[in-house]
Structure 1
Amino acid sequence: MAANVIISGSQYERRSISSRTKDAPAAKRARGERLGVEPALPREVTRRIVTERAEGRTFQAIADRLMSDGIPTARGKATWYPATVKAVMVSDNAAALRSEVDLSDVRIGKSHRPDPPPTSWLRPPEPQR
């Protein structure tokens, strides 16, 4: 019987800790506070990435241009990767900038696939024998 009381008390405590752990971030969000760390990448660099993507450049092309201009990443590294540029594009920091730039024709994810070739380029089917 004593073990049952201890187990019940442990379950209650586990549930209350879980509840407090879930409620704290929800309360911060409700107050409008930012969760996580502030972005280390300057807003100008983020704006440049969003603008260049809106102009139709690929993530690789944007990364190459940032490296050629000597702009360091948020962690101070010299090498930009397409995945890093994409991460900046989908970040909270870029969300506000995306509304300022017309991205209606631009996909955030994979590059746009070209339209299929016209039917005049296709060979006619070979006759059945």
Structure 2
Amino acid sequence: MKVVGYVRLSKGSANGHSLDGQRESIQQWAKANGHDLVTVVAEVASAKTPHKLAGRRLAIAAIKAGMAEGLVVRDLDRVTRSIIDGADLLEDAKLNGWRLLGAVDGLDTGDPEQEFSTNIKIAVAQEERRKIARRTRDGLATARRNGQRLGKPKQIDPDLEARIVRLARKGSSGYKIAQRLTAEGVPTPQGKTTWSPSVVRDVIARNTKVAS
């Protein structure tokens, strides 16, 4: 049977199976089962927005065009993590005569005995996605409460950074420099009016490291 492989990694994800790892699992499965792996479509996108999975649409379109008879993924959660989206995907496969196959979890929508277990797997995948989202939100909230700065910091103007370094070399502390910049109305990198001593100290420490 000719099949198209599909591998997906969530944006910004450091967990889960890598694209190469998923691809290798699919290749080994196809070889072991005597299937012809026509191509493997890869994309980096979140399954929480199925309509944005352009790679998945492309893979399924290729199958419907007659390039293959099935779509193979490493595990079901690589292709969908939503009960509603999963139901639509399974219905599309049934109506258009193509099969969704799992290289590791043994998924095969061509097997009517698997219909119930497949729906259970989709529900579990959706619940796991919800738990991951909750843990991420909780982690960010904890980081904010602990005073951690999140995201990529905006750059300080080079001339202003040089001025901070000059003041520090003349003996001014990070606290005094922050007070001075605030009093002068110099905007922070985020456009605020009050300078944090920790931001000034970071500038001083960074330039001290460079100088040394």
For the criterion TM > 0.5, the same-fold answer is: no
Q: TM-score range by the shorter chain?
A: 0.3 to 0.5
TM-score normalised by L of structure 1: 0.42
Higher relative contact order (CA 8 A, sep 6+): 1
